[in-house]
């Protein structure tokens, strides 16, 4: 596949200068329009050592407004990055809408290196590459223009370039022992890289392979392709977008997983007091064990308004060291969060090893509130099930212990709690007009919840359905399930 990038394309100095002046003006104009657009640009620069990858990045910064470009040179992960799943470092670095993010060393580097040096097998490589395809597909569908440049050199040219740079007193520092180590595995790098490119070059996110032998040619080619792609995307964004259709409210089946719950289950105050002490003690011991073993945990709560999520969370945190957990109450996204893919705000909040994050509502808002209130298009929430499953699979594979709770109550019980909140001074902040509006869509929310549970329940990230009419019963069941999952995971 690399043969067409070994043809020796060249551009003389005069032609380069003439083309560069025009290209710089056009790039700046496109960047100004991008700043007002509804999409972001991610550029991944990869390829052979000595092929000018850093020079391309430097040229982007020189020819464009650097205030609109974020460059990420991804070397060895930091201690903080090692304590999260591999893609955490890339997610948190994604640019907002209107800006460009450049990755010098990307999510491709580690899988390719591991395979070249035989630290992984072919199946492991393909698993990572398939995960990359899913990641890039989601970015594309979440309004990110992804450009992938592979700077190619033949073996002979690479050796010549490395030798020339090494002999230059001003630039010899750029060639390291690792560069020569990579060169001696050139054939294997080529084979593994070709496989990676073939598997990950998709219609949405194709690879652009550039002949990097001549520095002037490679520079113009990379920046011309960048300009062409941004302009094409700007043209698409100019087209009048049809108004999103009104949300179609689903109806629950007469018999479903939520309607089968026995909401009459209850605990006496005496039994509750005894069980609370027992399970909070167990949770405290296991949370300390989790910290010692350097494992992390995510507890996630969903359910109707006034379902008892906050009270249940407080009974959990009473048993945990406040230094080792964080409660995240998820509300409508901020302007910053809306300018990124919807999972961005959840990826960046993942706990470090030994820590826990407790979500009062979560990423499932995409298939609940956003679906039913018309905040996203049908194709967006429909694909979210797969994206969420992939997200949670990466967490579980990394060793995160995940438990997801749905707190179920009846509409009659919700009404009783709403009225109680209105009449109790210190609870009045909990009840809003939005709560009453959501109540009018009770059946639709129940149907959406059933779809969600059916499509995202799995052994690694199970849903625990909690009969929540009696708060004492619900709190003990949640404590017990948390202890059980911790014991299983540890």
Answer whether 179's CB lies under 8 Å from 50's CB. Answer: yes
In this structure, the answer to whether residues 407 and 293 fall within a common structural domain is yes
Of 238, 261, 290, the domain-final residue = 238
- Who's near 295: CB < 8 A, 6+ residues apart? 353, 354, 399, 400, 401, 489, 490
Number of alpha carbons in the 13 Å side-chain half-sphere of residue 159:
6
Inside any domain, residue 393: yes
Inside any domain, residue 202: yes
Inside any domain, residue 188: yes
Measured from the Cβ of residue 118, the count of other Cβ atoms closer than 10 Å reads: 8
Whether the predicted pLDDT of 428 surpasses 90: no
Consecutive H or E run containing 45: strand 40-47
Answer whether 325's CB lies under 8 Å from 317's CB. Answer: yes
Domain that holds residue 341: 269-489
Inside any domain, residue 243: no
Q: Give whole-number Cα distances, 318 to 281, 302, 327, 346, in Å.
A: 10, 20, 12, 24
Q: What is the percent of the chain where pLDDT is above 70?
A: 98
The string over 399-436, giving b where at least 16 C-beta atoms fall within 10 Å of a residue's C-beta and e elsewhere, is ebbbbbbbbbbeeebbeebbeebeeeeeeeebbeeebe
**Three-state SS string across 148-198, please?**
EEEEECCHHHHHHHHHHHHHCCCCHHHCCHHHHHHHCCHHHHHHHHHHHHH
In this structure, the answer to whether residues 465 and 377 fall within a common structural domain is yes
Going by C-alpha positions, the residue among 249, 230, 236 that lies closest to residue 41 is 230
In this structure, the answer to whether residues 278 and 165 fall within a common structural domain is no
Answer whether 470's CB lies under 8 Å from 266's CB. Answer: yes
pLDDT tens figures, 196-231: 999 999 999 999 999 999 999 999 999 999 999 999
Would the CA dihedral through 237, 239, 243, 247 be positive or negative?
negative
Consecutive H or E run containing 404: strand 401-408
Of 197, 215, 238, the domain-final residue = 238
In this structure, the answer to whether residues 289 and 401 fall within a common structural domain is yes
CATH number at residue 110: 3.40.50.300
Answer whether 372's CB lies under 8 Å from 441's CB. Answer: yes
In this structure, the answer to whether residues 214 and 355 fall within a common structural domain is no
Instruction: Give 40's strand partners.
Output: 144
Q: Give whole-number Cα distances, 448 to 4, 249, 255, 289, 443, in Å.
A: 51, 9, 14, 37, 9
In this structure, the answer to whether residues 196 and 279 fall within a common structural domain is no
Of 220, 238, 256, the domain-final residue = 238
Inside any domain, residue 368: yes
Whether the predicted pLDDT of 241 surpasses 60: no
In the predicted model, what is the mean pLDDT of residues 347-355? 96
User: What per-residue confidence (pLDDT) applies to 236?
Assistant: 87
User: What per-residue confidence (pLDDT) applies to 244?
Assistant: 60
pLDDT tens figures, 5-22: 888 899 999 999 999 999
In this structure, the answer to whether residues 299 and 225 fall within a common structural domain is no
In this structure, the answer to whether residues 273 and 219 fall within a common structural domain is no
pLDDT tens figures, 305-330: 999 999 999 999 999 999 999 999 99
Residue the block writes with tokens 């849903």: 463
Torsion of Cα atoms, 14 then 19 then 21 then 22, to 10° = 150
pLDDT tens figures, 50-86: 899 999 999 999 999 999 999 999 989 999 999 999 9
In the predicted model, what is the mean pLDDT of residues 112-121? 96
Residue 252 confidence class, pLDDT cut points 50, 70, 90: confident
Residue the block writes with tokens 């999510």: 107
Instruction: Give 145's strand partners.
Output: 41
In this structure, the answer to whether residues 22 and 147 fall within a common structural domain is yes
User: What per-residue confidence (pLDDT) applies to 280?
Assistant: 98
Going by C-alpha positions, the residue among 164, 442, 183, 409 that lies closest to residue 311 is 409
Q: Which of 19-33, 157-171, 231-245: highest mean pLDDT?
A: 19-33
In this structure, the answer to whether residues 365 and 461 fall within a common structural domain is yes
Q: Give whole-number Cα distances, 162 to 91, 131, 180, 348, in Å.
A: 33, 33, 8, 38
Whether the predicted pLDDT of 401 surpasses 60: yes
CA distance 213 to 201: 23
When computed from its CA atoms, the radius of gyration of the chain, rounded to whole angstroms, is 27
Domain count, the chain: 2
pTM: 0.92
**DSSP 8-state secondary structure symbol assigned to residue 334:** P
Main-chain phi, psi angles of 408, to 5 degrees: -105, 130
CA distance 437 to 372: 12
Inside any domain, residue 98: yes
User: What per-residue confidence (pLDDT) applies to 248?
Assistant: 83
Q: Give whole-number Cα distances, 266 to 140, 234, 449, in Å.
A: 48, 59, 23
Number of alpha carbons in the 13 Å side-chain half-sphere of residue 458:
15
In this structure, the answer to whether residues 207 and 300 fall within a common structural domain is no
In the predicted model, what is the mean pLDDT of residues 383-396? 97
CA distance 238 to 147: 20
CA distance 326 to 144: 30
Answer whether 136's CB lies under 8 Å from 204's CB. Answer: yes
Inside any domain, residue 162: yes
Please, what is the average pLDDT of the chain? 94
CA distance 78 to 70: 19
Helices and strands of the chain, counted as H and E runs: 20, 10
In this structure, the answer to whether residues 424 and 353 fall within a common structural domain is yes
Answer whether 454's CB lies under 8 Å from 257's CB. Answer: yes
Whether the predicted pLDDT of 285 surpasses 60: yes
Measured from the Cβ of residue 74, the count of other Cβ atoms closer than 10 Å reads: 17
Q: Give whole-number Cα distances, 214 to 157, 164, 283, 433, 482, in Å.
A: 10, 14, 63, 65, 60
Inside any domain, residue 254: no
């Amino acid at each position: 596949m690399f043969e067409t990038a070994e043809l020796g394309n060249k551009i003389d100095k005069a032609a380069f200068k003439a083309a560069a002046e025009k290209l710089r003006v056009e790039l700046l104009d496109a960047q100004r329009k991008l700043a007002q657009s509804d999409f972001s640009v991610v550029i991944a620069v990869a390829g052979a050592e000595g092929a000018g990858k850093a020079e391309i990045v430097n040229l982007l910064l020189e020819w464009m407004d650097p205030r609109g470009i974020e460059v990420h040179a991804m070397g060895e992960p930091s201690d903080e990055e090692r304590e999260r799943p591999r893609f955490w470092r890339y997610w948190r670095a994604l640019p907002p809408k209107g800006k460009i993010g450049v990755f010098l060393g990307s999510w491709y580097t580690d899988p390719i290196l591991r395979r070249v040096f035989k630290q992984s097998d072919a199946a492991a490589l393909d698993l990572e590459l398939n995960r990359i395809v899913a990641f890039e597909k989601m970015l594309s569908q979440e309004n990110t223009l992804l450009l992938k440049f592979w700077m190619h050199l033949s073996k002979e040219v690479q050796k010549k370039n490395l030798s020339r740079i090494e002999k230059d007193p001003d630039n010899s520092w750029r060639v390291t022992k690792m560069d020569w180590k990579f060169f001696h595995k050139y054939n294997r790098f080529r084979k593994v890289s070709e496989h990676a490119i073939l598997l990950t070059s998709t219609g949405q996110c194709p690879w652009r392979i550039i002949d990097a032998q001549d520095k002037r040619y490679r520079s113009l080619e990379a920046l011309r392709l960048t300009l062409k792609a941004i302009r094409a995307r700007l043209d698409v964004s100019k087209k009048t977008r049809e108004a999103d259709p009104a949300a179609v409210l689903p109806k629950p089946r007469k018999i479903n997983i939520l309607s089968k719950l026995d909401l009459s289950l209850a605990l006496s105050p005496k039994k509750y007091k005894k069980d609370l002490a027992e399970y909070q003690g167990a949770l405290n011991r296991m949370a300390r064990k989790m910290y010692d073993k350097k494992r992390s945990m995510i507890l996630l709560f969903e359910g109707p308004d006034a379902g008892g999520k906050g009270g249940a969370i407080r009974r959990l945190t009473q048993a945990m060291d406040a230094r080792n957990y964080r409660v995240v109450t998820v509300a409508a996204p901020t302007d910053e969060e809306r300018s990124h893919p919807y999972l961005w705000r959840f990826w960046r909040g993942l706990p470090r090893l030994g820590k826990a994050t407790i979500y009062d509502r979560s990423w499932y808002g995409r298939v609940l509130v956003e679906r039913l209130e018309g905040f996203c298009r049908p194709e967006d929430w429909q694909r979210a099930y797969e994206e969420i499953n992939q997200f949670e699979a990466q967490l579980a594979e990394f060793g995160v212990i995940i438990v997801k709770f749905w707190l179920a109550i009846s509409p009659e019980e919700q009404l009783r709690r709403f009225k109680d909140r209105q009449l109790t001074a210190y609870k009045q902040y909990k009840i809003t007009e939005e709560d009453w509006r959501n109540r009018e869509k009770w059946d639709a929310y129940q149907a959406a919840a059933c779809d969600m549970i059916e499509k995202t329940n799995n052994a690694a990230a199970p849903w625990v359905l909690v009969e929540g009419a009696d708060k004492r019963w619900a709190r003990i069941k949640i404590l017990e399930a948390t202890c059980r999952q911790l014991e299983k995971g540890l």
